[in-house]
Structure 1
Amino acid sequence: MCYVELHACSAFSFLRGGSFPEQLAEVAAELKMPAMALLDRNGVYGAQRFSVAAREHGVRPIIGCELSMEDGSILPVLVANRTGYKNLCELLTQAHLRSEKGECAVGWDELAQFAKGLVVLLGSTEGRARLLIDAFGRENVFVELQRHFIRGEERINRELIDLARANRLSLLATNGVQYAKPYGREVLDVFTCIREHTHLDAAGKLLTQNAERHLKSDREMRELFRDLPEAIENTSRLAERLTFSLENLGYEFPEYPVPAGHTMDSFVRTIVWFGAQQRYAAISAKVKRQIEEELALITKLGFPGYFLIVWDIVNFCREHNIMVQGRGSAANSAVCYCLGITPVDPVESHLVFERFLNESRKGWPDIDLDLPSGDRREAVIQEIYRRYGKHGAAMTANVISYRGRSAAREIGKALNFPPSIIDRFSHLFASGDFPHTLELESQIEQAGLPKNHPRMPAFIRLYHAIYGLPRHLGQHSGGMIICRNKLSSFVPLENASMPGRVVAQWDKDDCEDLGIVKVDLLGLGMMSVMQDALELCRQRGRPLDLAHIPKDDPATFDIMQHADTIGVFQIESRAQMATLPRMKPECFYDV
């Protein structure tokens, strides 16, 4: 049986791992590992990316997590089945939501409540063995051994072996992986300096002592543990027990509560035809045919509940005098027009419905709702939290990565460069819409760092290694995910830096890959201006709404053709203003 690495963390442990999850999966495949476990610190941030990459490379992904305990120790846990994954997500959610953003501490007395379906790795001799055996069961506690050629390590391992024999526990060999290949140690040292607010010249014993925490082959690990072959064999035996996959997540979109005597299919049909009577003075055969075709496809694909929930959000906005409208390809749908989600008649404008929804589409429809920025948008977000509960709705995450400026500044600080050089280097980066075209070596030299500087090669090497790695977790500008049951059963939730906001640990792409439905609630300053303008029109006796603004006004198109569009949303960027005089839009379809 081949060795399986059951304790590895990625850069999604945020400053505690030096490789992308995808890199770990790729190297595991190169080493012919049949399976591998990813255990990031206090979350499953990189689990979906790792799972996809591992399956593509023929490696079976195993999910787990390193838990930060209340006494400062770290407890690695592995997920065995769906129940274990649910328990891990709820345990992490509970620990995160009672703490400030970026903080998490699990109580030892909490473990028993969430232990079912989890396997724990015991890597210290500090008297927790009996507690873990009572909470998880003897067969689910493994004593973890690591060998990194560090002084004093073998004494700890002998104590752990004695502990395992005294408590009849199985031994498990791992390498405590923190980077895919040995060169990742340099990245980890820079991350340690960032985390500890120091630089490499002063970090001393904070840094790792060698570069042994990389993925190792079956042969290398067997050689390391040649005196304990059972510790190697137990890795594959345990891996066979860990059968959970994110592919069987079990997520369900919320059902919309419909009136008695209706199904969601019949109710969406009823309100669409009611809306059509409001929108159209007379429903033509063409409009009727379009609506019937769209409703048939929506029913066939099982999406009525999604349209009803978006319609319900729009109704809440209207009832509370909050201007709202759908954006993007949703405007191609006559059903969205009749539900009041969009103000554009797609039949009159000859828009193609299939761009919005068709049978070959994978995943859910994507309806983005534009709202006035500020308090009015926040009121809508808080209403969704109120309806679905703190554990039933969350903002999607936005992973903030190291880019040119941030990577250079952090590496410069770690290498103890003078602040003046770091500042000059940062100021040479492009800004605004302009692409960055300066070569890295040329940029460094212009910043005042000569080519023959002894730390120049290290700077360039580290810059390329760190660029793109996760820096911290932010929140998406408007993406919200909701769930039929507790969302915290499928993905851990944590507090955002903004009060009253809860964020899921996955970004919008991870959620889409797993079939988790996202509703975008986007705040626009221009919507605030428009709402105030329409209110003024109403007060002056000329009431107007977006659906009835003329779409063939020559003066409006003349302004566009002359690129006089500063302050006009979506056509005010440099690129758009340069394109408009050449395109010369003359009708709504041109826009």
Structure 2
Amino acid sequence: MYLNCHTYYSLRFGTFSETDLLALAREMEAGCIALTDINNTSACLNFVRKAPEYDIRPILGIDFRNGVKQEFVALAANNQGYYELNNFLSDHLHREVSFGKKAPEFRDAFVIYPFEKVLEEEMTQFNDREFIGISVADLRKLPFSCYIKNYRDKLVVQQPVTFRNKRDFNAHRLLRAIGNNILLSKLPKSEEASEDERMYPVSNLAMAFREYTFILENTRRLMEACSIDFDFSDTKPMQNQRTYTDSEEDDWKMLQELTEKGLPYRYPEAGPEIRERIEKELTVIRQMNFVSYFLINWDIVSYAKSRGYFHVGRGSGANSVVAYLLGITDVDPMELDLYFERFINLYRTSPPDFDIDFSWRDRQDVTRYIFERFPNVSLLGAYVTFQYRGVVRELGKVFGLPKEEIDRLCEERLVMKDLDQTAQLVMKYGKLIHGMPNYVSIHSSGILISEKPLHYFSATNMPPKGFPTVQFDMHIAEDVGLYKFDILGQRGLAKIKEAIAIIEDNRPDAPLFDIHDIRKLKQDSKINTMVSRAQCMGCFYVESPAMRMLLKKLEVDNYLSLVAASSIIRPGVSKSGMMREYILRHRNPERRKEAHPVMQSIMPDTYGVMVYQEDVIKVAHHFAGLTLGEADVLRRGMSGKYRSREEFKRVEDKFVSNCREKGYDEKLIQEVWHQVASFAGYAFAKGHSASYAVESYQSLFLRAYFPLEYMVAVLNNGGGFYRTEIYVHEARMLGGMIHAPCVNRSLPQHVIRGKDIYLGLLALQELEERTAVRIVRERESDGEYTSLDDFVDRVSIGIEQLSILIRINAFRFTGVDKYELLWHAHFKLGVSKKPELQQRLFRPPHRNFDIPVLTTTDLEAAFDQIELLGFCLCSPFELLKEAPLNDHGAAHLEEFLDRNIDIYGYLITVKRTRTQHGKEMNFATFIDQAGEVFDCTLFPQVAAKYYFRGKGIYRLYGKVVSEFGFLSIEVIKLRKEDYVEDPRYK
């Protein structure tokens, strides 16, 4: 009898989940209810999926509203009706237009107009599929609405359900205030739902309508006319686009042909082992109905290649030889003995996927191509939920707290009894709203390409990116048989692509090279030596301090070791203790004998240590005796996405019981389970690590042979792990001559000429992009600027923007001191500037002003650079108030091993972490006076006493230690050194 039920996907209105709604319906003995969220279908599929567990027959619909005003509720008579409703809603959401007062004539959906609206609009015309909704509250008015009673066959029960109790109603009012961005005390009643929008026992509802039994009968008939059906079973059909060509048979022939075509390039001498692997993969791909999935991915990659876009195919898809032959991935699964079953197997309950990375600059065009190439495409949705700080800030504003109080509530660990009443309310209701969806956003990379129109499953939003986005997330998509295509953007590929372009421009005589000849790169001794020394600044995935440390500890000097390192660095492996154990066994063959024989036989390449995601499947299957299907459930469950699902708990119990049956020692069982539970969700699939290692080798090659060009590409693509200043420093250490921006030499982005690197005009933090573009365009059109006067005549610019350029010394080619130029600029421009057209038509004569001789000091220039660029172009050690008392640096660490050292360092980065006991400790990286890098550790006792106070130079005193050959300093005390006083303000 409940045809108008809301969940918290009625955003900033509803107060509980779809499963809470089902539980409530079961409690109230309502055997059939309709989910009708406000202008939203996010909960619909999961509502249908979960309904049988609560013995509820689900009906789907939408509550169409303009703001809070309900225009009508529409119920889907069947799946086609649901599709109709989604089309209608999506059209309005995309165009951002209001709903009309009257619903369209749906073919397979029913419409219910609320009683109050019918009275207000004096509606008298209703078609066969339109009804008038009567709530419990409306029953008081019904006897006095004579003409309404004439529509006896049109009256149905419309008791809205938004709350379970008073607490839900209070949360609703807060959500409405947040949604309207007003104080709770100012929230008008018209913006709230009625407090009696609750679900009552069906018997009570029937009692309320006892004088109008025909209304109950009308409602029953309407509900019986509605049904919805989606297949959520384990044997559900895949809903992705079923064929790439016109038929499955043609798809199969095309996949075989493309596989055969790629064989000579990938395997010039393909032996029987490779042929056997290909046949095995093709058989499984066909049997699992993933032929079109491979072909669509091939199509996307082929388009990218035709446009000269770089890509990396990674994820478990890199375990497939067929994917390697089709060019989707660049990782040889045979070389790495990659486990194809990690990607697809007959027992796998979850869909496989390719993660395909493109340059962040190219990804938008690839996405556009996908939407134009295939008929039924949508971006995948994601839910942005209310999190602690966001909730506190929103509720703080709603309750009228001052900003300082809100900041305190956000930052501090508070004791409730110490708070005033209002602050306590913020904390109390913050817990209730925490985790509720705030708005529907976009999945970071997922795209759906389906056989049926996406509106068959959901309405779509139209976010600023301009591509339709379904209103559900990846988990629901998988549940209903929609498997996403992951199209990601990253900056590493853009660095490689741009570096090659810069090399062609700056070093046209450089020897030709093929950046895709991975076999040759892997064997390059210069690259491998560089990796062993961890000289990887700017290189994809291997430049962080933690990775640099691991490379040295593992003595990595080849591709296969780098593949392992790429997964070992992940947090799960390190936290489980397996990183340390792997290093010990890698460096000490005797230690390997401690591995359990079964574990050693399963993972000989990693000395019996779990390093990759597929190791979970191997251990679960071979060590614990789980089926491959159960093992895959275990692997997925470890990711956290499905950890709450009952199936995962059952597999966990079976893992332990099977091990006991096999007679393993209880301590061993718990140790192995701890390893599995600690890291599986945070480790990489081996193919994924291998894909990352390929991209690392490409960037390492460019750094090894074209270091300056590569560092400029790094700078032009947002840097990487470190801030811009550090990459500028690295370019200088590699032999580059760094120049401040210049109006005659610089472009908007950074540029290299020979070994001279000119920082881009846009490196100036306050310079407008349009100004930078205008300067370069004019220079390319009419030649270099000859003087400040010439520049002012040709470029439309205000005094503020011109002052920035002068202060950074962008007119140094004039030979005039910048202070003198600043005076001239102010005399010439004052506070105004003529429009560009007038300026070009009438160039006024320039007056010369008598200005005293002024000289800028190096110190003043450095502080100007810090203000305008964020860093100085000289050594920061030159700015110290007191010169360093020693010249100790990274080169001296070995001679101080196991002794204390006094050393100065310019702070690069700090990683704050916590011990197992919750105490804070820090890892920090510095640059010494010679420009070399060194690392420090602050254990909890020291971290609690000494703080890092932002960028700058620190004097450190500590003990030099070595772990597996990696030298670092265990800090005993530190102090931030003072810079000289800014001479510009003396």
TM-score range, shorter chain: 0.7 to 0.9
The equivalent residue for 1:54 is 51
Q: Give how far 1:458 is off.
A: 2.3
Give the C-alpha shift of residue 410 in structure 1: 1.0
- CA–CA separation in structure 2 for the residues paired with 1:572 and 1:416: 47
Task: Confirm whether residue 524 of structure 1 aligns to residue 484 of structure 2.
Answer: no
In structure 1, the residue matched to 2:251 is 264
Q: SS of the counterpart of 2:458?
A: coil
Mapped to 1, the partners of 2:195 and 2:101 lie a distance apart of 32
Counterpart residue number, 1:431: none
- Whether 2:444 is the aligned partner of 1:477: answer yes
Aligned counterpart in structure 2 of residue 406 of structure 1, from 379, 390, 401? 390
The reply on whether 1:117 has 2:88 as its aligned counterpart is no
Residue identity opposite 1:402 in structure 2: F
1:79 is the counterpart of 2:76: yes
**Matches of residues 377-392 of structure 1 in structure 2 within 5 Å?**
377-388=363-374, 392=376
Q: What SS does structure 1 have at the residue aligned with 2:335?
A: coil
Cα 1:398/1:564, change in 2 over 3 Å: farther
What amino acid maps onto 1:188 in structure 2?
H
How many angstroms apart in 1 are the aligned matches of 2:188 and 2:21?
A: 28
| Residues 1:237 and 1:469: Cα distance change in structure 2 (over 3 Å) | same
> Which residue is equivalent to 1:543?
514
* Residues 445 and 486 in structure 2, CA contact (< 8 A), matched pair in contact too: yes
> Equivalent of 2:278, from 270, 282, 291?
291
Q: CA deviation at 1:247?
A: 3.0
Match of 1:12 in 2: 9
Displacement after TM superposition at 1:496 (Å): 0.8
Residue 510 (structure 1) aligned with residue 476 (structure 2): yes
Q: Is the Cα contact below 8 Å between 1:551 and 1:587 reproduced in 2?
A: no
The answer on 1:146 being equivalent to 2:130 is: no
Deviations 1:191-236 (A, max 9, x none): 1111222112222534648632232212332343343344345444
Alignment CA distance shift 1:548-1:534 (3 Å): farther
Is residue 42–residue 458 contact of structure 2 (8 Å, CA) maintained in 1?
Answer: no
Specify the alignment match of 2:401 in structure 1: 417
Q: Is the 8 A contact 1:26 1:53 kept in 2?
A: no
Gaps of at least 5 residues in structure 2 are 566-986
Conserved? CA contact 1:349–1:588, under 8 Å: no
Q: TM-score, normalised by structure 1?
A: 0.85
Taking only the aligned residue pairs, the percentage that are identical comes to: 24
Matches within 5 A, 1:435-450: 438=413, 441-442=414-415
Q: How far does the alpha carbon of each residue in 1:290-324 deviate from its partner, in whole angstroms, 9 at most, with x for none? A: 11100010011111111001001000000000111
Q: Structure 1 pair 51/549, CA: closer, same or farther in 2 (3 Å)?
A: farther
Kept in 2: contact 1:70–1:108 (CA 8 A): no
SS in 1 for 2:231: helix
Residue 163 of structure 2 aligns to a residue whose secondary structure is coil
Q: Which amino acid aligns with 2:433?
A: I
Decide whether aligned partners of structure 1 residues 336 and 110 sit closer, same or farther in structure 2, where only a CA change above 3 A counts: same
Secondary structure of the structure 1 residue equivalent to 2:481: coil
| Equivalent residue number for residue 451 of structure 1 | 418
**Do the aligned residues in 1 keep the contact of 2:103 with 2:111 (CA within 8 Å)?**
no
Q: Deviations over 1:475-525 (max 9, x none)?
A: 122211122343334322221123x32211222222111112311110001
Deviation of 1:424 after TM superposition, in Å, equals: 2.7
1:183 aligns with 2:133: no
- Determine the structure 1 residue equivalent to 2:687: none
CA contact (8 A) 2:237 2:481 kept: no
| SS of alignment partner, residue 292 of structure 1 | helix
Alignment partners' CA distance in 2, 1:238 and 1:575: 64
User: Could you tell me which residue of structure 1 aligns to residue 26 of structure 2?
Assistant: 29
Cα 1:466–1:568 change in 2 (3 A) is farther
Of residues 58, 68, 86 in structure 2, which corresponds to 1:89?
86
Q: Tell me: CA distance 1:495–1:395, structure 2 relative to 1, closer, same or farther (3 Å).
A: same
Aligned counterpart, 2:189: 205
Which 5+ residue runs of structure 1 have no aligned equivalent? Answer: 429-437
Aligned residue number for residue 460 of structure 2: 493
Residue 62 of structure 1 aligns to a residue whose secondary structure is strand
Write the distance in 2 (CA, Å) between the matches of 1:465 and 1:529.
Answer: 45
CA separation of 1:70 and 1:451: change in aligned 2, threshold 3 A: closer
**TM-aligned CA deviation for residue 464 of structure 1:** 1.2
Any idea what the Cα deviations from partners look like across 1:510-545, whole Å, max 9, x if unmatched? 211111231111000111112223456776312221
Shift of 1:9: 1.0
Task: Work out which of the residue numbers 561, 564, 567 in structure 2 matches 1:590.
Answer: 564
Q: Secondary structure at the match of 2:332?
A: coil
Shift in Å at residue 7 of structure 1? 0.8
Asked if 2 retains the 8 angstrom alpha-carbon contact of 1:409 and 1:422, the reply is yes
SS of equivalent residue, structure 1 residue 400: strand
Supply the distance in 1 between the matched residues of 2:490 and 2:155 (Cα, whole angstroms).
57
Secondary structure at 2:155 match in 1: strand
Tell me which residue corresponds to 1:372. Answer: 359
Q: CA deviation at 1:98?
A: 2.0
- State how far apart, in whole Å, the 2-side matches of 1:577 and 1:163 are: 81
What letter is aligned with 1:360?
Answer: Y
Aligned CA distance change for structure 1 residues 564 and 58 (closer, same or farther; 3 Å): farther
Partner Cα separation in structure 1 for residue 124 and residue 528 of structure 2: 76
Alpha-carbon separation, structure 2, partners of 1:343 and 1:579: 25
Please list, as runs of the form range in 1=range in 2, the aligned pairs for 1:168-179 lying within 5 A after superposition.
168-179=152-163
Q: How does 1:291-310 map to 2 (within 5 A)?
A: 291-310=278-297
**Counterpart residue identity of residue 8, structure 1:** C
Alignment partner of 1:51: what SS? helix
Change (3 A) 1:291 1:222: same
Question: Residue 557 of structure 1 contacts residue 587 of structure 1 at CA under 8 Å; is this kept in 2?
Answer: no
CA distance in 1 between partners of 2:326 and 2:319 (Å): 13
- From the superposition, tell whether residues 584 and 462 of structure 1 become closer, same or farther in structure 2 (CA, over 3 Å): farther
Change beyond 3 A, Cα 1:584–1:217: farther
Q: Which moved more, 1:120-129 or 1:193-202?
A: 120-129
TM-score, normalised to structure 2, is: 0.52
Q: CA deviation at 1:89?
A: 1.6
Question: How many angstroms does 1:129 deviate by?
Answer: 4.7
Q: Which secondary structure state, in structure 2, belongs to the residue aligned with residue 78 of structure 1? A: strand
Which amino acid letter does the alignment assign opposite residue 488 of structure 2?
Answer: L
Contact kept, 8 Å, 1:183 with 1:211, in 2: the verdict is no
Amino acid at match of 2:111: V
Query: How much does 1:345 deviate?
Result: 0.2
Moved more, 453-462 or 31-40: 453-462
Matching residue's letter, 1:20: S
Residue 89 of structure 2 aligns with an amino acid whose one-letter code is: L
What is the DSSP-based 3-state SS (H/G/I as helix, E as strand, rest coil) of the residue aligned with 1:65?
Answer: strand
Structure 2 CA distance for aligned equivalents of residues 507 and 227 of structure 1: 45
Distance 1:260 1:521, change over 3 A: closer
Structure 2 CA distance for partners of 1:264 and 1:204, relative to 1, 3 Å? closer
Within 5 Å, which residues of 2 pair with 1:344-363?
Answer: 344-363=331-350
SS in 2 for 1:477: strand
Contact 2:244–2:295 (8 Å) recurs in 1: no
Distance in 1 (alpha carbons) for counterparts of 2:107 and 2:552: 65
Query: Secondary structure of the residue that 2:187 maps to in structure 1?
Result: helix
Quote how far apart the aligned CAs of 1:470 are. 0.7
Match of 1:66 among 52, 63, 67: 63
SS at match of 1:455: helix
**Shift of the alpha carbon at 1:109?**
6.7
Cα RMSD, aligned residues only: 3.1
Q: Give yes or no for contact 1:70–1:107 (8 Å, CA) kept in 2.
A: no
Task: Confirm whether residue 39 of structure 1 aligns to residue 36 of structure 2.
Answer: yes
Deviation at 1:6, TM superposition (A): 1.6
State the shift of 1:62 in Å: 1.5
